[in-house]
Amino acid sequence: MKIAFSARGLSIPSGGVHQLIKSLVPALAQLRGDDELFVIHNQEKFRGLAPDCSEIVIKGNNRIWWDFVRLPKILHKLKIDAAIFPKNIIPFFINCPSYAIIHDLAYFDRKLNSYPILDTIYIRTMIPNSVRKAAGVFAVSENTKKDIVRLTNCDPKKITVTYEAADKIYRPIKDTSCLQAVRQKYKLPDNFILYVGSLSPRKNIAGLLNAFSQICQKIPHNLVLTGSKSWKDSPVYQAMHRLNLGDRINQLGYVESEDMPVLYNLAGAYIYPSLYEGFGLPVLEAMQCGCPVVASNATSIPEVAGDAAILVNPLDTTDIAQAIYRVLSDSKLQKELVYAGFQQTKKFSWERCANTMLKTIRQSIGEA
What are the sequence ranges of the domains in the chain? 2-165+349-367, 176-345
The confidence score (pLDDT) of residue 222 equals 98
Of 7-21, 179-193, 225-239, 251-265, the range with the lowest mean pLDDT is 225-239
Rounded mean pLDDT, 357-365:
95
**Residue 368 pLDDT greater than 70, yes or no:** no
Span 27-48, average pLDDT: 95
**The domain 176-345: what is its CATH number?**
3.40.50.2000
Least confident span in 81-85, 101-105, 116-120? 116-120
* Other C-beta atoms lying within 10 Å of the C-beta of residue 64: 9
* Range picked from 107-111, 174-178, 364-368 for highest mean pLDDT: 174-178
Among residues of the chain, what percentage have pLDDT more than 70? 99
- Taking 90 as the threshold, does the pLDDT of residue 232 lie above it? no
Tell whether the model's pLDDT for residue 229 goes beyond 80.
no
Q: Does residue 188 register a pLDDT over 80?
A: yes
Does the fold of domain 176-345 match that of domain 2-165+349-367?
Answer: yes
Mean pLDDT of the chain: 94
Task: Give residue 129's pLDDT band: very low, low, confident or very high (50, 70, 90).
Answer: very high
Higher pLDDT pick, 116 / 175? 175
**pLDDT score recorded for residue 335:** 98
* CATH dotted code for 2-165+349-367: 3.40.50.2000
For residue 40, pLDDT over 80 is answered with: yes
Confidence (pLDDT) at 94:
95
